[in-house]
Amino acid sequence: MILISDKGQQKGKHLDKERYWRNHGIEVLYMPLPCGDYIIADDKVMDVINRKKERGIPVKKMDFLGTYNVTVDTKKDIQELVGDVCGKQHARFRDECILARNNEIKLYVLVQNVGGYLTRTKDIYNPTITRLEDLHKWKNPRLFEMKNSNEIIGYYSSGRPKYKRVQKNPNATKGETLMKACMTMQRKYGVEFLFCHNSEQGEKVIELLQKEVS
């Protein structure tokens, strides 16, 4: 099997996935893709690559439109998903979803994550999310970042003032808000959000790309 990985993927950030594919004899080529991070290089895809190669010109991302109908977009964690769905990258991500829908491409968004304690005192635990319906359980670490306010609430023995601690990012996206936004995008654009443990992403990408899409 040959995979095409979007040329825009950051090198050195996907070592676990790449190791899995290498160990299973899966070759990875790097090309610009119109939407998604990974596709399977079937006959139609390879025909585009070979024709461009014969002409001595580079492949452009829009050359692949019409050659594939399934793609996987991967996210390194839920925080990256927040940026795409509820943050500054929303418009770009929305346009990618619309491009996929308009070209009858099934877009899977696979988010890797692993649970763990959020604070040094280990009193707040974040579960590993395995499905979209459980995303409301996710606790945004940014909500637990604290800073000193200007309000003095006492003094240390040294005479130095003690300031009240407040949230640094009180408006950070909550898990429930993110879940509802993802569900809205699924309904409007046909994109599907899936979750897995960090160690599973390489295998899950292949599994989704080989899925039959009706």
Classify residue 202: in a domain, yes or no: yes
- Range 81-115 burial, b when 16+ CB lie within 10 A, else e: bbebbbeeeeeebbebbebbbeeebbbbbbbbbee
**Which tokens go with 45?**
């895809």
**Which tokens go with 59?**
């492949």
Classify residue 27: in a domain, yes or no: yes
Bridge partners (DSSP) listed for residue 73: 109
Domain count, the chain: 1
Say what the pLDDT of residue 9 is: 78
Classify residue 183: in a domain, yes or no: yes
The pTM of the full predicted model, rounded to 2 decimals, is: 0.91
Query: What is the percent of the chain with per-residue pLDDT over 70, rounded to a whole number?
Result: 97
Classify residue 24: in a domain, yes or no: yes
Say what the pLDDT of residue 14 is: 77
Say what the pLDDT of residue 214 is: 46
Classify residue 214: in a domain, yes or no: no
Alpha carbon 137 to its chain centroid, in Å, reads: 18
Classify residue 47: in a domain, yes or no: yes
The CATH number given to whatever domain includes residue 154 is 3.40.50.10130
C-alpha distance from residue 103 to each of 62, 68, 99, 206 (Å): 11, 9, 6, 21
Determine contact, residues 98/70, Cβ cutoff 8 Å.
no
Backbone angles phi, psi at 11, to 5 degrees: -70, 145
3-class SS at 167? strand
CA angle 206, 208, 213 (to 5 degrees): 135
Classify residue 19: in a domain, yes or no: yes
3-class SS at 55? helix
Q: List, for residues 154-176, the tens digit of each pLDDT value.
A: 999 999 999 999 999 999 999 99
Say what the pLDDT of residue 213 is: 58
107-131 average pLDDT score: 89
Residue range of the domain that includes 160: 2-209
3-class SS at 158? coil
Determine contact, residues 29/3, Cβ cutoff 8 Å.
yes
Helices (H), the chain: 15-23, 43-55, 78-85, 90-102, 175-189, 201-209
Q: List, for residues 198-210, the tens digit of each pLDDT value.
A: 889 999 999 999 9
